[in-house]
Amino acid sequence: MRPVIGITSYAQDARWGVWHLPAVLIPLAYVVRVDESAVMAGIEVSVDPDDVVDAETDATLAPGETVDGLDFGYAGTGSLGDVVWRDADGDGVQDSGEDPLAGATVTLSWAGLDGVFGTGDDYEFPPTTTDDLGAYGFAALPPGVYRLTVDGSSFDRAMSATTPTTFTVDLGPGMAFLTADFGFEAADELPYTGIAVDHFLLAAAVLALLGGAVLVDGHRRERRWDLAIWRIIGRRPGP
């Protein structure tokens, strides 16, 4: 049986004279608490063993018992996002009346604690897709350098970007960067005239009908002229 050499925590070895062993705790009720003064700015506790998210929990030790699973989770407080939209006039600015683009795939990379991309602590978040309003977002982010990228091939038709397809953001603690929007226009888009597409097609149909009417009227006028010449010269004109 090991002697009791000190009351400490599982995270810190007990030291007493020549002894250097993991802490041996007597059977009692304990409070396990996270020292949040050592936690980096911009993150907060999100998982607590007793489901009361306050960075501490109670634990009771029976004789000879080992208690595991007293885990605390932390998450960031920052966020990134905005919208992907159909840039009808191709000016790179989201104007009133321009439609959102649903189903666009957006990826997010974090440069890690060293703030440099291409090193071993980089992290790739699971991609997200825009909703029916063209909106997307990433939440619970720790501070650091991020790279947002939209996949222009994720649409159901060929699209051309009218804005940069990648943003790099230095996100501060608790910062909400919600202006990372991406614009696209259809690769086969008709030149923008300020007229809605359905109105444009209607106008084209009307012009086609008017053209046909003019052609028919021209044939009728030509036939009347032929008959007039026939009456004058006594025979039908022609070769």
> What's the whole-number mean pLDDT along residues 133-141?
97
pTM given for the model: 0.66
CA distance 201 to 222: 32
CATH code of the domain made up of 77-186: 2.60.40.10
Per-residue pLDDT of 174-203, as tens digits, reads 999 999 999 999 987 545 555 555 555 666
**Start-end of CATH 2.60.40.10 domains in the chain:** 77-186
If 0-12 CB within 10 Å is exposed, 13-18 middle and 19+ buried, where does residue 73 land? exposed
> What's the whole-number mean pLDDT along residues 154-178?
94
pLDDT value of residue 230: 46
